[in-house]
Structures are given as C-alpha cells and as structure tokens.
Amino acid sequence: MKKTSDIIKNEESAMEITSFLTSVEIQQSSAKLLQPIYHGDQPVSTTMFVPLNVFDRLSDDIYISMLYAYKPPNPSNTLLEQGLRKTLSEYREWAGRFGEDEIGQTIILLNDQGMSFTEASANCTLDQAFPFTTPILLKLSPNFEGVEELAAVQLTRFTCGSLVLSFSAQHIVADGQSVSHFMISWAQACRGLDIHPLPLCNRNIFVPRNPFNIEFDHRSVEIVKRKISKYSIPLPYAEDDLVQQILHCTPEFIAKIKNKASFSPGSSFSDVNGGCKPPYSTFVCLAAHLWTVITRVRGLDDSQTTYVKISVNGRRRLRPPIPDEYFGNMILCAFSETQAKNLYEEPLSHIAKIVQEEVTKVDDNYFKSYIDFANKNLKDDGLTPRKADPLSVPSCWPNLEINSWLGFTFNDVDFGTGKPFICIPSFDPLEGETYVVPSTVNDKSIDVYITLFQQQQALFKEMFYNID
C-alpha cells in the first residue's frame, strides 16, 4: 500500500507537469507563400488546370497534418524553404488553388500562387512539451479555417535546438501515399539530389471500360457509407473531451495479437511443420482487435450494428498496377459490419475474418467497377468532395475508422541531418478516427493513434493491452 506522503508527492508532481504544459507557448514569427522554382529559361504556364479524378471526388474536404521531429543539428529554415520551392516545381498542385470548370466541376488551378510557409518558436525544450497535449498539437500546425492554400508547412524551433516540422495537405488533392512520396522528394531536394522517382501527375489515367461494367452496388457504399453514420442517441461526453490516445505495439505484442486472431478451432491453416500459420496480416489483426476494444469501451447494445471503415490503396490492386508515385487519390474503403454482440462473444479470429473478407473484396474488379460507376454518374452530387457532417460531437460512434500508414515512407524523410525521431499524425478531432503508423523505433513496432473521449482513455488502454 502506498504511503500517504508518496501519494501527495505524486499528486504534486502531476499538478506541476499539468501547470507547465498549460504554460507552453508556440509563437508564429513569420508566414508567407512559397512559389515553385523552375530550372531553365522557358516560361511556365500558370493558366493550366487539373481535373479531379474519380477518387479525388470521394475525398473529404479536410486537411491532414503530419508532424516530424528532428534533434539538433537539423536543417536551417532557409535550406528547407529552398528545397521546398524546388520540389513544388514537380508537385505544382500544392502551390495551386481550387477552381471550377465551365460545367461547375471542381478543378485544381496550376497558378503557382503558393504554399503556406510558417516559422514559429516554442518557449521550452521538446522533451518538456512531449508527449504533446491536444492544445500543443493544434499549435504545431497552421489554422486552416477559411484558407485557400492547398498545403502548408510550419517549422517550430524549440529552445533545445530541436525542430518540429508540420506538413498539412488538402485531402482532395492527394492521399497518404502521395504525401509520403512528396516528403521524400522534398528531402532529396534539400540534400542536393535529383527527385526520383518523379511524380506521375496524370489524373486522366482511370479510363472507364466500353461498355461500362458496373458489378457492385457502389451507390450504397461509396455514396451512402462514406458518410459517418450519425448516432441516434446522445453521446455521454462533449467535443472538448476529445483527446489523442497513443498505443505502442512492440513486435512481441503484435505477435500475440496475430496468434490470437489466427487461432480458430478446426482451422485448416498450417505451415510445413504442422504449426499454426497466421492467415491474416498485421494490420487486419490490429483492426479486428481495435474494433473489439472500442465496442466494449463504448458499451454498445448487443443488437447495435457497427462497422469498421478501412482505407484501401488501389495502386497495387489494379491490374496492371498503378506506380506508387502516382500523385493524387486512389483510395476506396472497405466496410466490415456486424452486431456488437458478435464483437463481445466471438473469438478474435472470427472478427479478423470479417475484416479480411471485406478488405479482400476491394480488388481489381471492384476498383474498375467503381471507375465505370463514377464516370457514368459524373454529375451525381454524392460523388463530389464534401465537408464533414456538422455534428454536435464529432464522432464515428458506433463505428470505427482506421487508416493504415504502414506501407508509407514517412520515417525515411532525411533532409540531410538524419531521419526524424518522432513521426506522428496531428490531432484529428473525430472520436473513433484511427491511424496505424510504423514506429520510429525501427524495431518493427507500430504506434496506434486514436481519438477518444478522455474519460474512456484509461479503460481503452487497459483493454487494448489485455489480450491474454
């Protein structure tokens, strides 16, 4: 049993930490627009435009932010600025603006008006500010309320010499795979290297078949389910209660989840030695586990239907495959659905099977069928970029949304002084929004970032790690 004096000391220490964190200040010192730098004497047209592809049109009208932290010595702001301007000559969309064509469809104007570039400083060391609270996370990236820029960078210097670099991207312009390649290109430019591979910036490559061959009910999925279901009951907490929960998964912990998710009585999966061979990927097993845990934490009724929404990258699913360097969006979503009762009672292997089956369905045939459907219904308002539904409490309840960044190269962004030692998504104020990211520890561990109500953090963490 703890002594009363120890409890008092711990409480005082916690109060001191809380008091310090509330005093962390991040001040923006300058903000400007960066235009591309072009090589050669030939003038570049600024009247060109790019139409949205059929996958861009499914994207939400939101900005996604990624934070990279570098210990000293790190690159100067001037070096980062010059490298960024060179990179923008190959990724012109980021320096452009949205517009409309003659029939009112959204387009990207390649007018080189510029990307937002902000310099800032903090009044503390990075160790004192990390792990970042929600208010600090929000200050490390620019505010996007009412802005026209399609991408933004903020460089925040800490008193210890550490640098936090925030890159924020308009999701309608490109997906996570594209952002990953852009960041590597920026790093190459800062190191004086040629950008390789160059981005594939042709959004007209998704040609429908003649005649159309629409094999699936895309209206029920891509139009209806893409909208997070509005809950029909009052939620127990408020928007101000939303926080980011970080869960570190060691290789040993991941192995336990995979073994549990792959074990099923009577299963036919086995390796050459007669042992159990996990049939599911790391991501599928984690997704099944996360879905089970959040359902229990929420305490959904047995009969409540819930789904987990999973983004599926189509570049390698199409036949022939699309190069990874394709710049734009190429994402469709899998929706695995069941009743809460099954998530309470069935083994993890059963839940993993539900997830796996839906993810597997989003294959070459499905992507091509959607391309046909979207081209046949180009004027459908349901196939246009949209802002998030105005909810009193931003939440996926009773559902879960999971984005996998496991195949992206975020951790390899080296501007010349080394790779980042922190690489995390910024705070996403939507309860149930989840990102699965490779850890910078470089031991094959994984970090999970999920937005939860702070009142449920402790229970979620306890149940997440309790897999025995």
Q: Give the active site residues.
A: 171, 414
How many C-alpha atoms does 79 have within 13 Å on its Cβ side?
13
The strands making up 63-70's β-sheet, listed across from edge to edge, are 26-34, 115-122, 151-157, 163-170, 63-70, 422-425
Are 131 and 245 in contact by the 8 Å Cβ rule? The answer is no
**Alpha-carbon distance 107 to 451, whole Å?**
32
Helix or strand run (H / E) with residue 203: none
- Listed in sequence order, the residues at least 6 apart from 227 whose beta carbon sits closer than 8 Å to its beta carbon are 386, 389
**Alpha-carbon distance 157 to 345, whole Å?**
50
Question: How buried is 11 (Cβ within 10 angstroms: 0-12 exposed, 13-18 middle, 19+ buried)?
Answer: exposed
Are 354 and 335 in contact by the 8 Å Cβ rule? The answer is no
Tokens, residue 166? 């925030």
**Alpha-carbon distance 296 to 319, whole Å?**
40
